[in-house]
Amino acid sequence: MGIHISYHPFAPAEVHSLYFDDMDRDASIERLGLQLGLGLDASARLKAILSHSGRARPEGMSLCQAHAYNMAKVSGLLRSCWYTSNYRFSALLELPDFGQYATDWRDVMPESIAREPPAHERFASRNDGVFLSCAGLKRLRADYAEHGAVRSQLNRVFPRGWLPIFWAAADYAVARDCGLIEAVNLVRPDAIAPSSLMA
């Protein structure tokens, strides 16, 4: 069984104000729930996700994957997300030049959290969740139009009609000055119908 990839629009400012900030957390979450018109269940989920301030993670997850997973859960309460089965941009990060589109997690974390992790941890972009900044998405769009090598590689990792879904997520994010979180195994098609994710 393959992995399940979803893309979640998110802005770095939201990463700090919603995910990492400790100041006045309960009041901020309550205000956010009212602004978004969230019901009691969604508000409770938001509070549960944000209560750990980005420090908790499921067993066996790397720091990269945990941050992608948790921030994507927050984003899922705020906006639509896009499901691409097991097709992922991060599969390209081992190739020369594709790392320029991804943002190091330490660049979106507060300094106190982004300090060098223990030796067994890795922050390097891998196939366990990446953040593509708004600027990175714009550059990727332009390079896809102008460079055959970029186009062929993206077509290779998003085959059979999945690339338009990735571009729909990217274009939605860019139009709102957001980047995209690529999350692994957050959304499973047996739990949520894919049609509800391809907004």
Cβ proximity of 50 and 66 under 8 Å: no
What does 30-88 look like in DSSP terms, one character per residue? HHHHHHHT--HHHHHHHHHHHTTTT----TT--HHHHHHHHHHHHHHHHS--EE-TT--
Instruction: Output the pTM of the full model.
Output: 0.75
pLDDT digits (tens, 9 = 90+) for 105-123: 777 766 665 554 544 444 4
Cβ proximity of 182 and 101 under 8 Å: no
Query: Residue 180's pLDDT is what?
Result: 93
Spatial separation of the C-alpha atoms in residues 18 and 15, rounded to whole Å? 6
* Chain mean pLDDT for the chain: 76
Query: Residue 191's pLDDT is what?
Result: 36
Q: Which two tokens stand for residue 174?
A: 């860019």
In the predicted model, residues of the chain with pLDDT beneath 50 are: 1, 116, 118-127, 188-199
